[in-house]
Structure 1
Amino acid sequence: MGRQLVPLTLDNLPDLPMPCRRCVFWELDPVSADRAEKDGHAEREKEAWISAVLLEWGSCGRVVYVDEVPVGFVLFAPPAYVPGSLTFPTSPVSSDAVQLMTAALVPGYQGQGLGRVMVQTVAKDVLRRGFKAVEVFADARWKEPGCLLPAEHLLAVGFKTVRPHHRFPRLRLELRTTLSWKADVERALDQLLGAVQKDPVLRPL
């Protein structure tokens, strides 16, 4: 089984599943995001956002392929590029951290270590760019897949609460701790990323 973690670019953006491919929940402020959805321009805005981040900061995500089939992805960026986060009551993200926006892994590919590899790849990338941590706005009442990850699962894989809230706590993962995770954390990551995937299978276009 061949697996690759490829930096997200405009070329492989179509390999993200719907509706993530055109979702601009994080990429735009709420008013602009709502307007883009209503006008049918969300996918174009997503492309413009990725293009801008690539030019100014570099890769803001990874797409996971197994035997050339996309099976997962992760999106992350410095808070300055994530205006959608400013509306959260636990904002802002710390200046030494990159925001984990969202991530997903096809449930059928759990238990193969892909979750661990995804997060470790992000950790090494972000550390190399001079950041110390990853922070995320979690959903403490998570019930179904969406743009936010479940707080309970994130806490189980090593994130710590840095700004408590009854619904949207801000959690933090010190990056150096991700480089030597054990098997139990690997399994928890697979469960976390599999839990937030809406579609049972991601297929290339």
Structure 2
Amino acid sequence: MAAKLYPVIQEHLAFVHPGAARSIFWEIDSATAREIERAGDPGFEKEAWLTTTILNYGCCGYSIATPHPDDPGLPVKVLATVLYCGRDDAPGSTQLPTAPVSEDAELISSLFIEPEHASDGMAAVLLDAAIMELVRKDVSAVEAFGLREDHHLDPDSPRAETVQDIVGRREQIGLLPEPVLESAGFEVVRDHPVLPRLRLELPPNSALLTAEAVEQLLARTQ
């Protein structure tokens, strides 16, 4: 069965990527998140965050998943998820060296994609879906923190240890590659050798994927 696009709403929490369902880097302040990861249940805390955010904010992301042929309300496999929220709903973002997010912007925090589908165009589909939803929410701008994979970090630079820790956990926290953001129209607003902050004014000037293009891409994904 072909993959489908699902909004992250209460009815579709089963369709959130397992990595996104466990990660609390963005959603909880760093000290509390570390304690929960050591002794608590990150999945429970993330589900609580998702439920609260959906209640107060509405849809806060999109997933791509293959639905079960006998029960469309359950996934066979979740392939990818992108999450976004208001900047105050992501206190963990203050750990980034180019924080804070601008006062007039929302945040696309994380992107999780199964490695075998990393080059399938899913990032473009998910980012475009998120951008369109933020436009519908009448948001004036969206920002994200990008990762430069080919970075060269001076170990003696300010916050170098924190940056190295964040980069080392990039898959666990869903860092977005800078080229992925730039291909969606984002531009750097605060530079950094490793973790620049990028911004996209809404509505975007560049064209988004059409519904037909999205359907064609997902139809090729099993």
| Pair in the same fold by TM > 0.5 | yes
TM-score bin (small chain): 0.7 to 0.9
Give the unaligned 5+ runs of structure 2: 69-75, 152-166
Cα distance change, pair 26–111 in 1 and its aligned pair in 2 (3 A) = closer
Q: How far does the alpha carbon of each residue in 1:159-188 deviate from its partner, in whole angstroms, 9 at most, with x for none?
A: 2110112222101123433761479xx9xx
> Following TM superposition, by how much is the alpha carbon of 1:34 offset from its aligned partner in structure 2, in angstroms?
0.5
> Following TM superposition, by how much is the alpha carbon of 1:113 offset from its aligned partner in structure 2, in angstroms?
4.9
Alignment-derived partner of residue 100 in structure 2: 92
Cα distance change, pair 179–5 in 1 and its aligned pair in 2 (3 A) = farther
| Matched position secondary structure for 1:176 | coil
> Following TM superposition, by how much is the alpha carbon of 1:16 offset from its aligned partner in structure 2, in angstroms?
3.4
> Following TM superposition, by how much is the alpha carbon of 1:26 offset from its aligned partner in structure 2, in angstroms?
0.3
Alignment-derived partner of residue 154 in structure 2: none
Alignment-derived partner of residue 154 in structure 1: 181
TM-score between both structures, scaled by the size of structure 2: 0.71
Alignment-derived partner of residue 51 in structure 2: 51
Structure 1 outlier segments of 4+, above 4 Å: 107-113
User: Aligned partner of 1:127: which letter?
Assistant: V
Distance 1:156 1:57 in 2: 27
> Following TM superposition, by how much is the alpha carbon of 1:109 offset from its aligned partner in structure 2, in angstroms?
4.5
Alignment-derived partner of residue 23 in structure 2: 23
> Following TM superposition, by how much is the alpha carbon of 1:84 offset from its aligned partner in structure 2, in angstroms?
0.3
TM-score between both structures, scaled by the size of structure 1: 0.76
Give the unaligned 5+ runs of structure 1: 191-201
Aligned residues: 187
Alignment RMSD, CA only? 3.1
Q: Name which one, 1 or 2, has greater alpha-carbon Rg.
A: 2
Aligned-pair identity (%): 31
CA contact (8 A) 2:29 2:92 kept: yes
Distance 1:159 1:17 in 2: 24
Alignment-derived partner of residue 170 in structure 1: 197
Distance 1:60 1:182 in 2: 19
Distance 1:156 1:42 in 2: 32
User: Aligned partner of 1:94: which letter?
Assistant: S
Alignment-derived partner of residue 122 in structure 1: 130
Distance 1:157 1:137 in 2: 13
